Amino acid sequence: MNLFKTKLVGPFKQLLTFAGIPPKGPVADEKLSVIEDAGILLKGRFIEAVGGFDELIRDWKVRDAAIERLREDVVGLPGFVDAHTHICYAGSRALDYAMRNAGKSYLEIARSGGGIWNSVQHTRNASDEVLAEGLTGRINRHVKAGVTTMEVKSGYGLNLETEIKMLKTIQKVNQQQSVDLIPTCLAAHILPPDFDGNAGSYLRHLVRDLFPILLSEKLASRIDIFVEETAFAYEVAKSYLIAAGRQGFDLTIHADQFTTGGSKLAVEVKAVSADHLEASSEKEIAYLAKSDTTATVLPGASLGLGMKFAPARSLLDAGGSLAIASDWNPGSAPMGDLLTQAALLGAYEKLTNAEVLAGLTVRAARALKLTDRGSLKPGLLADFIAFPCADYREILYNQGALRPCRVWKKGVR
C-alpha cells in the first residue's frame, strides 16, 4: 500500500460511526457506537478504517506526512443527509408568511396571488444564471451546517420547459459543487392553473412527454407527487406512480400533510419514502411501520405553518424507519436549518439523541436509497463532520446553535 495515498484524520474526542444502527424502530443512546480518541483512515474518497487514533497509526504504519491532526476537542459523525428539499427556486414568499400569521387561510393567500403558483411564476421568469446562483447559495449554507448530501426537487416549473430548466440547473450545479445533489422530479406538485385539462390529463402528459426526457438526459431517477385534496387525488396519483415505476423511476410521495391517504398509497406502490405525515393517525403509522417505506418527517414545515409535528415517536415505537429532513422551500419551510429543526422535533416528540442523529445520517441515506454513506465504516464515502465539543450530547442540547467546525466531503475538507 502506498502510504502517501492515504490520510489519517484525528484524533476525535468522540467519533459516532452509526455502524450497526438498525434500519427501523427505536434506538436507545446506549446503542450508539462511540469511539473515544478516534481516527478515520482515508484512501482517496473512501474510508479505509475507523478506530482508535494511536492504534490506526501503529497498525497501518501511518507517517506524520499523512496525518491531518485535530488540535482541539471535537466530536465526529457522518455528514448529514437532507432527504427532502425544494432549494431550487426564485423569488420570496415573505408576504405569504406574514398573511398566514395574520390569520389568512391557504385559499385566501392563493387567491391573492400567493402560494405555490407565486413561486412557479418567479421560477419560470428566472434565468438559468439566477436559478443557479440561488441554488448555490443555499447549498453553501447547508454545507456550513454539516449537510453533505442534499435531495433537490423540481416542481416550481409545472410546464415542460421550466421543469427541464430546473433539473438541468440542479445537474449543472451538482457538477460544480463538492457536495452531492440528488435530483427529484416534482412536476406533479399541483395542477398548474394554466394547463388546459384536468389532473389526469396533466399527469398523462408528464408520463408521455416529460419522462422520456428525464431518462434520455439523465436529469432525474426519482419521481415525487403531492397527494392531497388541494393537489392530486389518490386514484389519479396511483396511476401516475405506477407508470413511473414501470419506467424504472424510484418513487416518493408528499403524503398525509393535511389529510390522510398518501402514506397508504406510498406503501402500495412500494415508494422509497413517504414524506410529511403530520396528519397520520394510528392506522397510517401501523401501515408504514410494516413496510419498507421510510417515513420522512419535515419539522421545518410544521414550524413554518404553525402546525403540529409529524408523530415521530409513534412511528418509531411502531417499528418504522424515521428520517428527518428540512423541506427547505420558499413557502411553508423557509428556515432551512436542518439541525435546529431536528433538535426541536426531538424535544417535542421525545426522541433520543441516537434517533435524531440517525434520522439525519444513516436513516436519511436509506430514504434516498444511498448505501454508500450515512455511517462511518470501511468502504463507504468519506463524508464526515466535526463539532467543537467533547461530548456528542452537546450537539442537540444546543438546539442548532452549535455548528460544525469542519466538514469533509469524499475525504476532502
Where does the pLDDT of residue 144 fall: very low under 50, low under 70, confident under 90, or very high at 90 and above? very high
Q: What would the mean pLDDT of 146-157 be, rounded to a whole number?
A: 98
Where does the pLDDT of residue 4 fall: very low under 50, low under 70, confident under 90, or very high at 90 and above? very low
Shared domain check, 205 and 191: yes
Residue 312 has pLDDT above 70, yes or no: yes
Where does the pLDDT of residue 5 fall: very low under 50, low under 70, confident under 90, or very high at 90 and above? confident
Q: What would the mean pLDDT of 30-56 be, rounded to a whole number?
A: 97
Pick from 49, 34, 180: nearest CA to 9: 49
Where does the pLDDT of residue 112 fall: very low under 50, low under 70, confident under 90, or very high at 90 and above? confident
Where does the pLDDT of residue 105 fall: very low under 50, low under 70, confident under 90, or very high at 90 and above? confident
Shared domain check, 188 and 132: yes
Torsion-angle region of 58 (φ positive above 0: left; ψ -120 to 50: alpha; else: beta): alpha
Shared domain check, 384 and 237: no
Residue 1 has pLDDT above 70, yes or no: no
Three cell numbers, residue 291: 413496510
What is the rounded CA–CA span in Å between residue 5 and residue 73?
26
Query: Given this model, what pLDDT does residue 111 score?
Result: 79
Query: Given this model, what pLDDT does residue 404 score?
Result: 98
Shared domain check, 128 and 41: no
Residue 2 has pLDDT above 70, yes or no: no
What is the rounded CA–CA span in Å between residue 300 and residue 145?
15
Q: What would the mean pLDDT of 383-391 be, rounded to a whole number?
A: 98
List CB contacts of 223: < 8 A, sequence separation 6 or more: 184, 185, 188, 240, 241, 244, 249, 250, 251, 252
Query: Given this model, what pLDDT does residue 230 score?
Result: 87
Three cell numbers, residue 236: 389519479
Residue 96 has pLDDT above 60, yes or no: yes
Report whether 145 contacts 153 (CB < 8 A). no
Shared domain check, 117 and 203: yes
Q: Which domain holds residue 315?
A: 81-366
Residue position matching grid coordinates 441515506: 365
CATH assignment of the domain containing 302: 3.20.20.140
Shared domain check, 381 and 280: no
Residue 190 has pLDDT above 80, yes or no: yes
Residue 377 has pLDDT above 90, yes or no: yes
| Residue scoring higher pLDDT (114 or 406) | 406
End-to-end CA distance of the chain: 23
Each residue's pLDDT tens digit, 217-270: 999 999 999 999 889 999 999 999 999 999 999 999 999 999 999 999 999 999
Shared domain check, 254 and 394: no
Shared domain check, 337 and 399: no
The pTM assigned to this predicted structure is 0.97
Query: Given this model, what pLDDT does residue 3 score?
Result: 42
The reply to whether 392 falls in a domain is: yes
Residue 142 has pLDDT above 70, yes or no: yes
Shared domain check, 338 and 383: no
The reply to whether 289 falls in a domain is: yes
CATH assignment of the domain containing 402: 2.30.40.10
Sign of CA dihedral 157, 160, 162, 166: positive
List CB contacts of 338: < 8 A, sequence separation 6 or more: 80, 82, 142, 145, 147, 300, 324, 325, 326, 328, 360
What is the dihedral angle through the alpha carbons of 163, 228, 151, 309, rounded to the nearest 10 degrees? 150
What is the rounded CA–CA span in Å between residue 60 and residue 41?
9
Residue 107 has pLDDT above 80, yes or no: no
- Tell me the average pLDDT of the chain: 96
Give residue 148's identity as a one-letter amino acid code.
T
Q: Give the total number of structural domains in the chain.
A: 2
The reply to whether 413 falls in a domain is: no
